[in-house]
Amino acid sequence: MNIVILDGFAANPGDLSWDWLKAYGDLTVYDRTPEHLIEERAKDAQIVILNKTPISRETLARLPEVKLIAVLATGFNIVDVAACRERGVPVVNIPSYSVSAVAQQVFAFILEFANRVGLHTASVTAGDWAANPDFSYQKSPTAELSGKTIGVIGYGRIGRRVAALAKAFEMRVLVNTAHPEKYPDADVTFLPLAEMLPRCDFVTLHCPQTPETDKLVNADFLSKMKDGAFLVNTSRGGEVDEQALADALNSGKLSGAGVDVLSTEPPHPDNPLLTAKNIFITPHIAWASYETRVRLMEILKENIRGFMEGRPVNVVNME
């Protein structure tokens, strides 16, 4: 059995081990694989493990040996799952491994906006406090979260965890989801977007990227948001029209935004969000804590073991 990892660096930059895979066959690990080298590196592999390296229908046709594609993430849109299904190749993913970490990142953005810890720390270390005549000063207004309203778009595992954290901060929670009837006991208020957006001080995205959610956050969406609100996106960059968001920030329609994902990663230098006002951007790290990656590796072990034992788990493309 030949096993190839095409882009292992993000999930394991060196603080974890791939050695357990050697029990199943010959292992080759690449930190990154450009598209023009995918076929060369994976052509003899029965198991292909990848994170963001794309496997299209055309690429799959040139990989005659592949029997399993294991994605090192929850999202699997980089693989043509229909083509894999037609070939009888299961695609497995890593579900639910980053729920706590992503929800924590949401509130890292919200708390940075509300408390401005970074701004005030920089001010103090620059000598502003030592030179100040008062015992306390503010470089920017701060705010309590208690009593504020947060709108959660998407009510899967991450959306529900964000709602729970918001309640701990005594925030009001509004939710928009396609199927509110699935949650009859939820202690939240379900609303259509048009009714929810004008009421929210914070809006956070937790829905999958589909044709329906592509550029969900556009100029019309932003115009419906409460003046001075704050937007968070830890979901998918393609769900946001980045120029429209930059315009809303630069005009003052929104007071700020926190994004961990962009439409193209790494971003083009001319991405309008890179120069927008009052935005916090992190490089797609919400999922990437050490503890979360350990969990990811344990689920990958289950996926590989299940496949080798003839009982594949976490398969996303087979009925």
- Round to whole Å and give the CA distance between 27 and 40: 15
- Indicate if 236 belongs to the active site: yes
User: What is the Cα–Cα distance from 232 to 239, expressed in whole angstroms?
Assistant: 11
Helix axis angle, 290-308 to 99-115, nearest 10°: 160
Catalytic residue among 116, 206, 236, 293: 236
Evaluate the CA torsion angle 151, 157, 161, 164 in order and state its sign. positive
Q: Is 206 a catalytic residue?
A: no
Q: Which of 35, 265, 291, 302 is catalytic?
A: 265
Residue 210's nearest CA partner among 239, 235, 175 is 239
Is the Cα dihedral 102, 297, 55, 281 positive or negative? positive
Please state, in angstroms and rounded to a whole number, the distance separating the CA atoms of residues 234 and 236.
6
Does 36 qualify as catalytic in the annotation? no
What is the residue type of 74?
A: T
What does the alpha-carbon distance between residue 61 and residue 39 come to, in Å, rounded to a whole number? 10
Name the helix (H) or strand (E) containing 190: strand 189-190
CA distance 159 to 204: 9
Q: Catalytic residue positions?
A: 236, 265, 284
